Every structure is written in C-alpha cells, then in structure tokens.
Structure 1
Amino acid sequence: MGKARHRGPPAAGPASGAANSGPYPRQKRAPPAGDGGSGGVVSLLVWLAAGVLLSVGGYLAYQGYMERRVNTPLAAPKAADPPAADDRYWGSYRPGAYFGLKARHPRSPVTGLMWFTPAMFQGGELPLRHWCEQGDGLDRYGWLQHDGRHFGVQELVDKHIRLETTFVKRPGGEHGGDWTARIKATPKTDELNGIQVSLLYYIALDDEAGPEDALATDAAGDTLRAVHGTSEALGPFTMSFHVSSGRLQRQFYLAARAPGLHQLRETAVRGFRLVQTADQRYIGLVGEMFGAGAERTPNFVVFQAVAAAPFELEVRFESGSASAERPAPLGGQLYDLLLAKHREEFARTFERKFSLAQKGYSAEELRFAQAALSNMVGGIGYFYGSSLVQSRYNAEPVPYWPASLYTAVPSRSFFPRGFLWDEGFHNLLLSQWDMDISRDIVAHWLDLMNTEGWIPREQILGSEARSKVPTEFVVQRNSNANPPTLLLSLNAMVRRMGSHPTETDRDYLRRLWPRLRTWYAWFNDTQTGELAGSYRWRGRDPRAVNELNPKTLTSGLDDFPRASHPNADERHVDLRCWMALASSLLADIGDVIDEPAQQYRRTFDFLADPARLDALHWSEQLGAFADFGLHTDSVRLVRPPAPAPDRPGQRPPPPPPGLVRRADQQPELRFVNALGYVGLFPLLLQLLPADSPRLARLLDNMEDPRGLWTEFGLRSLAKTAPLYNRKNTEHDPPYWRGPIWININFLAVRALRFYGDTPGPHQERAKQVYDKLRHALVRNIVKEYKRTGYVWEQYNDKTGWGQGCRPFTGWSALVVLIMAETY
C-alpha cells in the first residue's frame, strides 16, 4: 500500500541560529553562588526531563489527532437537505429484499414480503423467499415500471408461481401519507392452477428503535386483523391486511422479538408449526413467540395468508397524521384508478424524456427500456449506520460517524449497498429521469466526506447491508481512492444548466463547492505519482504472491493488468484522466457560482496537454495510451515446491497452500503493453483534441477483432494481451480481462458521438464506429434480456451471453441512454 502524504505539525525552526530568532530570546544565567556548578547540572536535568515529557506529550497529542481524522466529518455545511415528508419519503428503499418499503428516516420501521409454496420443499428445508438471492433460481424478477415517487409495478417469476407486486402512495399528514401494496399470486402454468401459496407480509422496527417506537397486534385466534404502531419516523399508524380476490384457506400470524433486521427471515422460520385439519395440512405461524422472561412487546409482526392461486393480498398502511385528509381507504377501485393513472403518466414521461417510440423501437424494446430504467430507480435504497474505517494511525478499525445514504445499488442480489465507483454512472441516467432524485443522491455521497477529504468507496450501513458483505471487504482504508465518477454526473448536470443557470442551480452548486474542492485536494495530496502530472492508485499490494497481477480494486477495474510489481514508480493513465476531468469541472462550477477557478483551469490545461500526456503515457508499440511501472509479461502461477525437512530422515512439512506467482524474467521500468479499456481513457473522457493523430490509432484498436472489437461491444482486454482471459488466482475467474462492461462501453459511445459531431480529420470515422458500436450493444443487451429475463453485470466477449451477477441494473441500465442517444 502506497504511502499517503499527510500534513504534520509545524516545523520547530532552523537547527542553528534559532536561539535569538524568536520574540523571547533566551537569557544566560550564572549558577547561584556557592553552588559549585551542581545546581546548573540539576537544572539542566530538570529541563531535559521536562523537554522529554513535552516531546512525548506532543507526540501522543499528534498521534491522537491523526487517529481521529479518519472518522471526523468535514467541517462544512451539509450538502443534502433533511428528508421531507413528501412524495419521496416512503419508497421501495430496501433493494436487497424482493419487495419491501420503508421511509427515509434513520429509524424507520420496515415492511416486506416473504413467500413459499409447499411444492418447493427440498431436503426438508423451508424455501422461504425474502432476500434477493441468486441461489433462489427465480426465472426473472424486477421492476417493470417505477417512477421513484408515486408507484411501482414489479414481476417475480418463481418455480411454480408468478407474483406481481404493486404499490401506490397517497400524500397527506406529516409522515409521508398513506400507501397500499398488492401482491397477486398466479400459477406459472395452467396445470398448477389451485396450487397452495403462502404470502407473508410483515412490519419490523428498526434495530435502533427508540422507546416511543412500538407495535401492537389486533388479533383473534390465528387471524391478524391489523397492526397498530407508533414511531418517531411515522407517528401513529395502522397496517391492515385484506385478501381481495381468490380462495383463502387459512390465516396465521407471528408476533415476536427479532434480534435484528438481518434476522427477520430466520425469526419467521423459527415461528412455523405444522397444522393438521381434517382434510389439509398447513405450515403456519404460531401466533406469539417470546422466550421465557423475554420482553413480550413485539418488534416484528407477520401476517400469513394461505390460499389457492390465483389470489391477491392487499396491505394498507394508514398514517395517523393523515386521517383528517383521508377521503376513503386506498384500496379496491380507488387503488385501481390511481395505479392506472400513474402507469399512464410514467409511459408519457418516459417517451417525452427518451423518445424511443419516435426513434422506431418496437413495443417489446420499449418495455425492456422502461424495465431497465425502473430497475435502477427501484434499486434506490435508504441506508443508515456507520462504516468501519482505518488509517495507518489506527491500530484497529474504528466506526465512522452514523450517517444516512440515499443511493442506487448496482445489483439487488449481489451488491445491495452503495458503491462510489458505480454511483456516478447511475446518475447519468437518474439525472435525466428525475433531477431532484439525482441531486439528492450526489449530495448524500459528498456528505460522507471526512475532514481529510476522503469518502469510503463502499458503504455498508446497517445490519441488513452488513449481513451481505464478506468480512474481508468490510473495513475501508483512507489511503484508498475510487474513481470520482460523481463528477461525470455533475458534469452532465452543469451542461444541462446551460449558460443561464437558475438561482436554485447555483445554490445547489454552492453547497457542493467546499466538499468538491476538499475532495479534489485529497486526490492531489494522496494519489499523485513521482513525476509532475502523474498519478498512482494506492492500495495495490506487492506482497500479493497468490495473484498473477496484484489487483487494483481502487481503480474500479479490479484485475485489469497493471505493472506486475507494484511500486512508487507507477503511473496510471486512467487516474490522470479522472483528475483532468475533475479540474475541468471545478473550473466550470467555479465560473457558475463566481468562485476563483483559474487554478483548476490551469491544472486542466496541464493534464490535458497532448505533449505531456504522450510523454508519460503514449506507447508507440501498443498504439494506445498505457500505464508505466516495474513490469514483466513473463509471469505465471505455479505450485510452490515442498519445503525441505529440518533434519535428514524427518518428514517434510506440507507445501504452502495454493498457487504462487513466478516471474520468469526480471521486471523493468517500462510501459504496460496491455491493450484494453485503460488505454482508451483519454478518448473516453474526451480529453484528446479532435485533430489528434492518436485518435486514428485508438479507432483502429476499437475496430480490430483481435483488439477490442466484438459484435456485442468492446471487450475489456484485447485478445493479444498476455493476460487476456487468464485467471488472476487459482480460483478467481477473469473479471476485467475480456468481458464486455457496459459502463465503459457507454463512455465509448458517448465519446464517439462527441468526436463524430466535432469537425476534424477523424469525424467521419468516429461516426461510423459510433453507429456500429451502439447497435451492437443495444442488440445484444436486449437479446439477452429476452433470453434470460435479466440485465447482466457483464457480457461474454465470445458469445455475448450475460454473465456475472444478475440482475445488474446499475450501470448496465445505461443502455437506455444509448438507445435514446442522450449522453
């Protein structure tokens, strides 16, 4: 891990000539009479001891100060406004659950859906669906329409049933108003008509619920009529349950104490019992479940409806503060009318913003695009908690301050939490759909900045999020950066403001300004290279002997080949380009809000200067820009030899586990000639002049089938690269070593559109490559969605098949902007 530069305490002053240089010069004193000089020795010892104590005290104070910096928030006004009880107060802000609603409040109660069918039993384990899990094997699931404010429509296709979950909100009162959710269960095939299905809908108090938060059941026998509650976030409320269609067989409920939100499913499973009647067997909840001597007030209440599919469950949440404004319960025909109204408005707004029908896309392609956008919007979560962080001054990880985060997630099944690298790409789409949502998300992220200017790159806030993260990825280290992709979103926002930004625009940018400046300064303090104008991602581990090429997780391009032997001489071209973009954006924002911006403009001119960029990063052999460092291509993973025994005749110790890296040639300082995404960054971020001779070579690489071109999009690493499609460890498959990633392909089509619209010697060529690449991407992503039911994390460069995790409607949903050609 590279050393970060930290500003220490002021220097003590020059070593010589300092005695009389201060405002209080020292006075020479003679020893007292008759002392014989011994008093002077004692005085000297006293002064030395005092000096030592002061030095130790100063060191300890300095050490304590440095330890606290990592979890001290930046002393600047908050960029995000506190959540208001408006049409975004309630939402599907639990993206890790198949269906769940909560309010934008740190201690909001949560609600959610679980389900099972007895036909799904395998090996005696109850297959209770709750969290989005790839192992559940659903044919598909995801939002079909979701506007981020008023409603959502989702489809889930399981082994035997189809579920449609919808919700509609109605404003009123002081706590976000009322909402109603419907869950409709239908058999997957006609042969399964009448299959028994259990739908469970619950409400649970937050792990940090206050003493005023409480739930109470209104029940008779096994029937739960309603849940009454009160909370700081919601005031008084009632939630009731209605089987609105179909043949109800039995009802059950559970009132219990769950140990935490991450244990709701496990608590529900413990609450089941087998119920036998004259003609039927049921798996039903027990009613109340409290341990001996335990508190008998529930923090978790579940309603269970057992019915023959098809049938429909309606859940109504009514806010006590909205009772005076409530004309009628939000259910039945009123619900149908409001849902139809919101769906029609969604379709009109979608076409107005993206014009896909006007561009000639089919009805099926329109439904796909609406689903892609809706899954990103429906994947927005609201989280609250503390990250675990560490600096080189902390012996152990320490908690960050408790904070909230409003953010979209990359994948509901695999990454249901906030990622700084992904969020900038998310908001390129979100800002075109709903600017207020996007501005709020960006502000929340910037409010997570500490006093150093660092933002933890992965946000794991709350027990639900923590339960989905392997231990080794929980702690965030303050020397490690992540690409500042939020600047992509801000850059797009500033462009849309045009030459006449409103006062609202300026006020928003003024709130961001001190945080953007501090963030920018942090990058320049901690991520610079040895040469002027060079930058180096920290966080690469030269001791990672089990890795073919030590990963660069901080760059976002995890296993993309960098210098084989990490050291301080490395230069990373992608980071230089991100800093050029940051310099340009801060200059533009400074001009808009009348803040000094000349230093940022000068830095941009320096970083984007073609001659300087060439000198540090152009590889003529590669025909592209490249990283530089201590490197050899002759590396492989081998089984280490068994160590020799300590003494003759003694059994030798076992060999070390796993494969280790062996370099067959000594590394040398050179360019890393691995053609791939990294070498395109000056083009991707549109830093090259339109008349640059480098553009022609980069366009050649993009069109070459042995290079980056495939009929499905640009692959991440060329076939000619030494590490193309090679595992990085004995078990890790290639990640950024061949597969097609949509975020970088989006930057590519956006840049090609820019160069195709800009006069220059490469204009026509850029237009041609743009058309080819755009059509290849759209065709393949839509095809795979039709074939598999999902948008994927990445796509195979040989077959075009989706791979990695699914659904991945984070940056892969940028296909909507590619279809619309709005960049």
Structure 2
Amino acid sequence: MVRNRKQPAQQKHGNNHESSSSSGASDVSFVSRTFHLLSIWKTFVGVVCFMIAVYISTLGYLETRVNTPLGEEKVVIDAGLAVPDMYWGSYRPGVYFGMKSRDPRSPVFGMMWYELAASAHKGIRHQCEQNDNLPTYGWLRHDGVHFGEQLISDPPHDIRTSFLKTPGGEHGGHWTARINITSTDGRNTPLVLIWYGALDESLGAGVHSRLWVERDTLLGHTPALGNFKVHLVPHTGKIIHKSHSEAYASGLQVLKEKFYSLLRVDKHPNFGRLAVLGPDGELKKNIDTEVNFVPIQLLVETPFVLDVIYTTEDFPIPPIKGDEYTRTLANLTKEFDKKFEEKFKLKEKGYSDEDVGIAKAAMSNMIGGIGYFYGASRVQSQYTKEPVPYWKAALYTAVPSRSFFPRGFLWDEGFHGLLIGRWSPDIQLDIAAHWLDLLNVEGWIPREQILGVEALARVPKEFVVQSNAAANPPMLLLTIGHLVKTRPELFKVDSPHRDILDRMFPRLQAWYQWFQTTQKGEEATSYRWRGRDNDGVQLNPKTLTSGLDDYPRASHPSYIERHVDLRCWMYAAADAMATIARVLELETDKFESTRDQLGDEDLLNELHWSPHTQTYADFGLHTDGVRFVRQQSKNPQEGSKVVRSVTIAPQPRLVTSAFGYVSLFPMLLKVLQPESEKLGKILEMLDKPDLLWSPYGLRSLSKLSPLYMKRNTEHDPPYWRGQVWANVNYLALAALRHYSARGPHAQRASALYTALKENVVRNILSEYKRTGYLYEQYSGEDGRGSGCKPFTGWTALVVLIMADEY
C-alpha cells in the first residue's frame, strides 16, 4: 500500500518534472522563434537597405553617365602648339574679322568699325548680324591653313580683310592681317576703324595673362604664348586721329557694348565733336579687376590700308608686311586658283569666270567659317533633376551660318565634310576627330554645340540644354565612310590617316550602337526619332532630332511611330561601318547583316509602303483634321492665344498626306536596288510640278499636302514645308547619278539628274548674283533665297554639284 501510495507520488513528481521540462522547452522555443524572426527581420532590413544602397548608387551612376566621357583613346592627340601650321587662324566665324589660336587659353583679336557721320543710326559693326543689312560679305579665297581674303561691303565703303601666317618657333609664330578700306562713292569718306585684343573668360585672374599698350603698340602675355606684340602699321593712307583704352569686359560677348561705354566726346579742329576712347571707370572702382580688353581706335581717311602685325619674342624670322605681303598674297591667290581648278574642274566644264568666282567664294566661306570653340555644353538625362555641365572640351568645326548659327551642329557637319574633304582630307578628319571626342560613355553626342560665352550669348534659352535621348542623323559617319571609300590610298597601313581612323573606329562603333539601342521602334527593323512632344500649340509637333524640324509627321506623337527616314539612315550607317571596318581589316559581318536586313525591300515595304498612294511614309497615330483656333486664356491679363484644335480623331496609319523629302529617303540613301519597282514609282512622281518638282530644285513638301507652307504655330513660319533645301537636293542628285548607271530606270534617272542639276545650280548662282549671298533655303515658288544669310554651310554643296562630285 505504501508502495502504492508512493507510486502516485512518484508519478506526481515525475509529472512535475515533465511539466517543468515542457515549460523550459516552450521558453527555449519561444526565444528561438523570436531570434529566428529577428534574424529574418534583420536580414530583410539588411536586404532592403542593401537594395536601397544599390538603387541609390545605381541612380547616382546613371546620373553621371550623361556627362562621363567615353573611356576610349582620344582621336585628337596633337593639339595647340603641337600642330604649328594650324595654330593661328580666322577661328572666330561669328565676327566680321578676327584671329585666334587653337588653344583654349588663346587671346582673341578682332575688328570693329563705324561711320563717323552715320554712327547714330548704323551703329558699330562687330559681330556678323543679319540686321546690319550689308549688301554682301564673306571670304573670296581661304585655304584653311595659310591665308584668306574677304570682302565686306558696307556702303559707302568696301573693306577687304586678309591674313597670312608665318608659323614656327615655340609659341606659334607670326601672322599679319591687312585691312584695306576704300570708298565706293568716290568721296574718300572718313571711317572709324577699331582693332582690339581681348582675353577670353578662361584667361581670368590667376593665370598670369595680361594686355596693355605702350607707344601705340598692343602688348600681351599668356602662359602658352609668352610675350607678344601687335603693331598697327599704315601701309597706305592717313590716320586723322588715334585713341586707345585699357579696360575690363565681363565677357567676349559684350565687347561692343563695352567699347560703347568707353567712348568720350572730344573736340577736333576738322570734325568738331569727335568720339574718342577714354579710361575705364570700372577699373578705377575695383582695384582687383584686371585689363582684359584693349581697343585702339583710328579715324582714317580712305583709301586706307593697315597692316596688323602679330609677333612673338622667340621667333627670329621677320613677319610678312608691306610690299612683301602684297607679293605673297598674290602668289597664294594663284596657288589657290590652280588647286581649285584641279579639284573641281569648273572651267574645264564650261562655267564662266563669274560662276567659278561664286563657287570659290562658296567653298572659301565653308573653310573660312571653321571656328575653334572651347567650353562645356549643358545636358540632361531622365536621371538628372536639373541640367548638368558636360565636360569642358575643344571643338574645331565649320558653322552653318556666321550670322545666325555661329556654332557647331552635328548633322550639318556631315554635309560640310563632303566639301571640306574634297578640298582637304586632313581638315575634314581633324574636324571629325574633334566631334568624335565629344562622345559620352553611352555613345551619345550632343547635337548642338554651344561652347563659350560668345556662342552661348546668341542662343535662345530653350535651345541651350541638350537631352541625351535626342539623336541627329549620322551624316558625319556617312561622310567618313565616303572618304574611306573614295580615297582608300589615304588609309594604307602605317599612314597617319590610318592611325586616325583606327582611333576613330571604337567611337564610331559606340555611336552607331547608341542609335541601334536608343532609337529602335516597337516593330522589328523599325526606328523612331525620340524627342517629339505634343504641347497643344503646334499644328504638327516638331521632330527637331531628325534635322527636318517641322516636316509633318504623325499628328499625335506616340511610341508606335515608325520613321522611314531614320530607318534609311541606319541602313546607310551600317553600310558605312562595314566600309570602314573592311579597310581596317576588322570584322564586318554584324554591320553587313544589319545593312542587308534593312535593305530588304519586302521588310521596308511592309512597314512603310502605301499601296494606295504608291509612296513611302511614316507610320503613327495621325489625323489630317487639325487646325488653329484662338483660345481665351484663363488669366484675363494674358489675353488669347492660338492653339491646335483636332476635328477628326487620330488613327494608327501611314502619314501619306505628307509626301515630301521623307518619302524619298529609300531613294536618297540608295536603299532601293536599281531594279526596284518602287524606285520607278518614286521617279515617276519626282518631276510632277504639282508635287515636289520646281524650276529651282525639289521642294521639301508636296504642294498638295495639307500643311504645304503652313505655319506651325502662331509665331513659327513654315521651315521644311515646301522650301527648297540644298543638302537634300544634293542627296537626290547623288542618288539619281547612282541609279542612272544601270537598271530599268537608268534613262529616267539620268534625265532627271540633268534637269534637276540645272535647276539647282542656276537658281543658287543667280540668287548670289542678285543678292550677294548663299541662303539657308530657297522658295519653291519663285526661287528667292529665304531663311538666314549668309548660309555657307550645306548650301555651299553647290560647288560639288557643279563639279559632278558625289
């Protein structure tokens, strides 16, 4: 019994033990689960923190890509003083006459003038301005290396400027500029001439650069040049009065305004009250301000010839001046004329001396319009909240127009290179090398280069910032490919040109790949220009990236768009890459594969051919039912404005109503085979006068298009909506010449080539004779020049057209 009594006790004890163990196990389990949950939580938080860190670092990386240079070897290796023959030049195309070096820290020199009696209403001439309304101005001859001579007509005076260089020494050598002023009214009217020296904003305090005047001689010093002198030596004529000032200007863009502020009224025995240069009050107010602008004003009696002689201390060879200058200029002129005829054979082709003279001026203005710029663009990507500066860089480039576009434009430069390369492959490759060194790590090049304060001051704010989503036609790539194809002897192994092309290739490949990555369309083998934006104000939203600005595209920008011109550009780009790779003995398969795919006419027709209109066209969300209406603003103070009204809903469709340049691109860039039936259709429509054909060249848009010569906003006149453009007419002539060689359409292509060439050349030359200028565009109705002038960018391709060089 006792045992039995003990049994329950043992059981009870045992149960108590089990109970205690169970409780302990629960505690341990709870702690374990808690620890496990905490571990999971910590891991989760760690992962989240890690992901946030990765996101932030990735975002930071993506933010920096837009202004990070491509990590390949630079194409431009030798620069500045390392290329002495090219060091000095007329590299300031935005002023009527100026000299500077190809050095970011170069002093600049230039000319201003004004009439003594008419200064109140004509003002001071300095920067090239359309509003100055000069009868003509521009280079008559310019070889890009040794000399140039220019005529500026500003009645009652003609001003001829020229320069010669004497390269050598350790600091760039000497140069002499001559200013020859004559009266056109036979009355020897006095003129006020100003020659100045100035330091760029990059030559500010702390870099040991300065300017001053001693005994009527402009003196200066920079780290790159050492000490230099600028003597003003009258060669012919009389100086009536002379004055100068040592001043501070806040930037090169305000030199004329600064000059105005320095003028003081003085008495003169023959002229009564005379404006002369006085001291700069700003220098007196601020003792820390340094002299960076020295103008020297001369009141001269015409005819008057002044030699401006720049010399450095280290170069013992005397500069060219006086009668020696006259003889040397005459010899260089003869050499230029001989080389021009050898290159283009225009006299041999039967052109008159007057026409040949215009062609020389056209090409010389292209060469003389080459500038040297330094600075940083403003760029933006989707990952940057605000615009950021590109890296500071130099750009050696031709400009489209000295008066209106005195800066670099990417697709323009491709057309420029066709003419420049015919004259000097060295200059063309140098320009292309500078452009390609602007590639960022993504393979993108800003399409408009606004470098330095002089360039920036002349650009509306809305066009300053460049988006890294924005393309521009890869014409520069095509031009390099053209040079390689037509001048293979330049690129033999171990030649300097081959070395340049070797360094170019990785950059060309990165640029080409950027297009393939960023400009792809939704459909296979389709492409779409980015950057279109429907603001509700434009009748048809612009496509600035295409180069054709307001050319009508789909009325409602969308991701489904397919642009036929861009697809053709990519065909030509792949072909150019294959050509360059082949010469460099590199793999060509991937480029040829893309070229052949984009050259497949069935694929092209599937995406862009309209059986209904028998034309090629863009595809997108489109309606022709758009018009302008005047809308009252919600703010009574703002009044009313003109906006776009859509009267018919848009549908996905081919934009067949916009027959024009875009419709021709499969022919223009030689995508179509000579046997193509579609090529025959294009040629059939090409010479119809109610469409694109005019006595002055091919119109940019058909006369039957709803938007022919229509404004795009209340304030934007038509641009690519019917006017005749020389660059596309050049492409058309090159294509017609190509298709006239063989195939069933050869005879028609040949006849069209002959007629179109005659129309384009005759009109451009006759307008130059009538007005003294080449123009940005020409009317399809009467042939008159329009847009900006002088436009000696791609309109100068008339020289190649005259020479049958394509």
Conservation of the 8 A alpha-carbon contact between 2:209 and 2:220? yes
Per the alignment, residue 212 of structure 2 pairs with 217
Code of the aligned partner of 1:134:
Q
The CA deviation at 1:321 is: 2.5
Task: Give 1:587-602 correspondences, 5 Å limit.
Answer: 587-602=578-593
The equivalent position to 2:696 in structure 1, one of 708, 712, 725, is 712
Task: Determine if the alignment matches structure 1 residue 338 to structure 2 residue 328.
Answer: yes
List per-residue Cα deviations over 1:339-376 (Å, max 9, x = no partner). Answer: 11111110000000000011111010011000000000
- Indicate which of 740, 758, 767 corresponds to 1:756: 740
Cα offset, 1:54, TM superposition: 1.5
> Which residue, out of 584, 597, 601, partners 1:606?
597
Task: Indicate yes or no: 2:470 matched with 1:470.
Answer: no
**2:548 maps to 1:550:** no
1:532 corresponds to which letter in structure 2? A
Q: Structure 1 residues 785 and 395, CA, compared in 2 at 3 Å: closer, same or farther?
A: same
Deviation track 1:514-533 (CA, whole Å, cap 9, x = no partner) reads: 11111111111110000110
Rounded to whole Å, the distance in 1 between the matches of 2:431 and 2:64 is: 27
What is the rounded CA distance, in whole Å, between the counterparts of 1:810 and 1:360 in structure 2? 25
Report SS of the residue matched to 1:785. helix
How far off is 1:59 after superposition? 1.1
Establish whether residue 268 from structure 1 lines up as the match of residue 259 from structure 2.
yes
> Is the 1:79–1:444 Cα contact (8 Å) retained in structure 2?
yes
Is contact 1:148–1:378 with CA below 8 Å preserved after alignment?
Answer: yes
Alpha-carbon distance between aligned partners in 2 of 1:622 and 1:112, rounded to the nearest angstrom = 56
**C-alpha offsets along residues 674-721 of structure 1, whole Å, 9 cap, x if unaligned?**
110000001111111111111221112210001110000000001011
Equivalent residue, structure 1, for 2:200 = 206
User: Is 2:526 the partner of 1:534?
Assistant: yes
Equivalent of residue 756 in structure 2, options 773, 776, 798: 773
2:175 partner SS:
strand
Q: Which segments of 5 or more consecutive residues in structure 1 lack a partner in the other structure?
A: 1-29, 644-651
1 CA distance for matches of 2:392 and 2:337?
39
For residues 302-313 of structure 1, the aligned pairs below 5 Å read 302-313=295-306
| Residue 27 of structure 1: aligned partner | none
Deviation of 1:102 (Å): 0.4
Which residue does the alignment assign to 1:301?
294
RMSD value over aligned CA atoms? Answer: 1.7
Separation of aligned partners in 2, 1:586 and 1:85? 29
Distance between the aligned counterparts of 2:632 and 2:203, measured in 1?
Answer: 56
- SS of the counterpart of 1:817? helix
Cα contact 1:792–1:802 (8 A) shared by 2:
yes
Q: 1:197: which partner in 2?
A: 191
Residue identity matched to 1:88: M
CA distance in 2, matches of 1:555, 1:197: 46
CA distance in 2, matches of 1:370, 1:96: 21
2:160 to 161, 164, 173: 164
C-alpha offsets along residues 782-804 of structure 1, whole Å, 9 cap, x if unaligned?
00000000000000110100000
Distance 2:734 2:712 in 1: 31
Aligned ranges 1:329-478 → 2 under 5 Å = 329-478=319-468
State the TM-score, normalized to the length of structure 2: 0.94
Partner residue in 2 for 1:721 = 705
- Per-residue CA deviations over 1:539-569 (Å, capped at 9, x if unaligned) read 0003x20000000000000000000011011
Instruction: Summarize deviations over 1:223-248 as a string: whole Å, max 9, x none.
Output: x2x12222133222111111221121
2:606 is the counterpart of 1:615:
yes
2:173 matches 1:183: no
Structure-to-structure mapping, 1:473-484, within 5 angstroms: 473-484=463-474
The corresponding residue for 2:107 is 109
* TM-superposed deviation, 1:120: 2.2
Alignment of 1:230-245 (within 5 A): 230-245=221-236
Distance in 2, Cα, partners of 1:393 & 1:638: 37
Q: In 2, Cα distance between the equivalents of 1:213 and 1:194? A: 44
After superposition, the Cα gap between the structure-2 partners of 1:58 and 1:433, relative to the gap in structure 1 and judged at 3 Å, is same
Q: CA deviation at 1:305?
A: 1.1
Q: 1:231 to 1:654 in 2, by over 3 A?
A: closer
Cα contact 2:387–2:465 (8 A) shared by 1: yes
* Structure 1 residues 562 and 726: CA distance shift in structure 2, 3 A: same
CA distance, structure 1, for counterparts of residue 733 and residue 127 of structure 2? 35
SS of equivalent to 1:35: helix
Write the deviation string for residues 102-149 of structure 1: whole angstroms up to 9, x where unpaired: 0001111111000001222336xx711110010111111000000000
CA contact (8 A) 2:70 2:441 kept: yes
Query: Which residue does the alignment assign to 1:93?
Result: 91
Q: Secondary structure in 2 aligned to 1:203? A: strand
- Say if 1:31 and 1:37, in contact at 8 Å, map to a contact too: no
- Could you list the per-position Cα deviations for residues 597-651 of structure 1 after superposition, in whole angstroms to 9, with x for gaps in the alignment? 10110110000111111111112233321101110111101112566xxxxxxxx
Question: 1:36: Cα distance to partner?
Answer: 5.6
2:11 match: none
Mapped contact 2:176–2:319 kept (Cα < 8 A)? no
- Comparing 56-65 with 496-505, greater Cα deviation is found at 496-505
1:296 offset after TM fit, Å?
6.0
1:46 aligns with 2:38: no
Distance 1:770 1:350 in 2: 24
The code of the aligned residue for 1:552 comes to T
Matched to 2:444, the amino acid is W
Specify the alignment match of 1:696 in structure 2. 680
Deviations 1:486-520 (A, max 9, x none): 02211221112338841224322211111111111
Q: Kindly tell me: are residues 642 and 300 of structure 1, through their superposed partners in 2, closer, same or farther at Cα, counting changes over 3 Å?
A: closer
Counterpart AA for 1:743: N
1-side partners of 2:478 and 2:201: how far apart? 36
Deviates more, 1:260-269 or 1:232-241: 232-241
8 Å contact kept, 1:640–1:655: no
Task: Report the 3-state secondary structure (helix = DSSP H, G, I; strand = E; otherwise coil) of the residue aligned with 1:154.
Answer: strand
The structural deviation recorded for 1:214 is 2.7
Quote the residue 1:253 is aligned against: 244
- Partners of 1:717 and 1:789 lie apart in 2 by 27
Distance of 1:66 and 1:212 partners within structure 2: 35
The residue aligned with 2:6 is none
Q: Secondary structure at the match of 1:237?
A: strand
Name the counterpart of 1:138: 134
SS in 2 for 1:255: coil
Task: Decide which moves more: 51-60 or 741-750.
Answer: 51-60
3-state SS of 2:789 partner: coil
Moved more, 153-162 or 360-369: 153-162
Among 276, 283, 304, the residue aligned to 1:284: 276
Once the two structures are overlaid, the 10-residue window that deviates more, 545-554 or 587-596, is: 587-596
Instruction: Describe the SS at the equivalent of 1:594.
Output: coil
Cα distance between partner residues in 1 of 2:719 and 2:780: 12
Q: CA–CA distance in 2 between the matches of 1:463 and 1:291?
A: 25
Which deviates more from structure 2 when the two are superposed, residues 798-807 or residues 591-600?
Answer: 591-600
Query: Structure 2 regions of 5+ residues with no counterpart?
Result: 1-25
Aligned residues: 773
Partner of residue 808, structure 1 = 791
Contact 1:205–1:213 (CA<8 Å) still a contact in 2?
A: no
For the pair 1:149 / 2:142, whether they are aligned, the reply is no
Give the Å deviation of 1:404: 0.4
Instruction: Answer yes or no: is the 8 Å Cα contact 1:120–1:159 preserved in 2.
Output: no
The answer to whether the Cα contact below 8 Å between 2:95 and 2:128 also exists between their aligned partners in 1 is yes
Pair 296,612 (structure 1): closer, same or farther in 2 beyond 3 Å: closer
Q: CA deviation at 1:775?
A: 0.7
> Is 1:425–1:488's contact at 8 Å kept on the other side of the alignment?
no
1:479 shift after superposition: 0.5
Measured in 1, the distance between the counterparts of 2:248 and 2:565 equals 50
3-state SS of 1:773 partner: helix
Once residues 364 and 448 of structure 1 are traced to their aligned partners in structure 2, the CA distance between those partners, rounded to angstroms, is: 41
1:119 aligns with 2:113: no
Output one character per residue of 1:254-278: Cα deviation in whole Å (capped at 9) or x when no partner. Answer: 1111111112111111111111023
Corresponding position: 1:174 with 2:170? yes
In structure 2, give the amino acid aligned to 1:519: W
- Distance in structure 2 (CA, Å) of the matches to 1:53 and 1:501: 55
